[in-house]
Amino acid sequence: MGLKPDHWIRKMALEQRMIEPFVDGQVREGVISYGLSSYGYDIRVADEFKIFQPDKSIVVNPKQFDADSFVDFRGKVCIIPPNSFALGRTVEYFRVPRTVLTICVGKSSYARCGIIVNVTPFEPEWEGYVTLEISNTTPLPAKIYAGEGIAQVLFFKADGTCETSYADKKGKYQRQQSIVLSRL
């Protein structure tokens, strides 16, 4: 299994629609960078968010998450409360090939400010907009900029083809079109 370079990512995006919309090269001036890089693709966060508003009377439970714990927000700048998190989604839509596994990692520009994007894989044949979990680990409010870079996706091509892909097992997050909460 090998990490794939920029020319492979470009080819797959343009010929196989692996990433849409696709930005061929890094956009960096005046923004947190996004677009094609040497060995990855820097994804952008869209302008829609679900901001977690903790209620001291509830327990966070991934098997039965209370959707009322979130406030929907749409805008160019999302403010995440101290020691809380927000869910967002990517601008880009992904179609992961059957022989590819991706890993999504947070960008250092945010990490250096105590803002962490959850590390997550996109499994073979997963398709959709990515739901992102963005944590503010600081005791102060934190800004997230819509339309700018939020994380980097690394693409690993397998030596062989998997027996069962995410599409084959009818994964619960397949073809998501918006921010999707935890499902069981």
Cα 85 to Cα 40: distance, rounded to the nearest angstrom: 25
* 1 pLDDT above the threshold of 80: no
pLDDT digits (tens, 9 = 90+) for 63-118: 887 888 899 999 999 999 999 999 999 999 999 999 999 999 999 999 999 999 98
Element containing residue 111 per DSSP (H, E): helix 108-111
Q: Which residues have a catalytic role annotated? A: 133
Neighbours of 120 (CB within 10 A): 16
Cα 9 to Cα 108: distance, rounded to the nearest angstrom: 22
* 56 pLDDT above the threshold of 70: no
Tokens for 168? 């084959």
Burial class of 16 by CB neighbour count within 10 A (0 to 12, 13 to 18, 19+): exposed
Cα 145 to Cα 47: distance, rounded to the nearest angstrom: 8
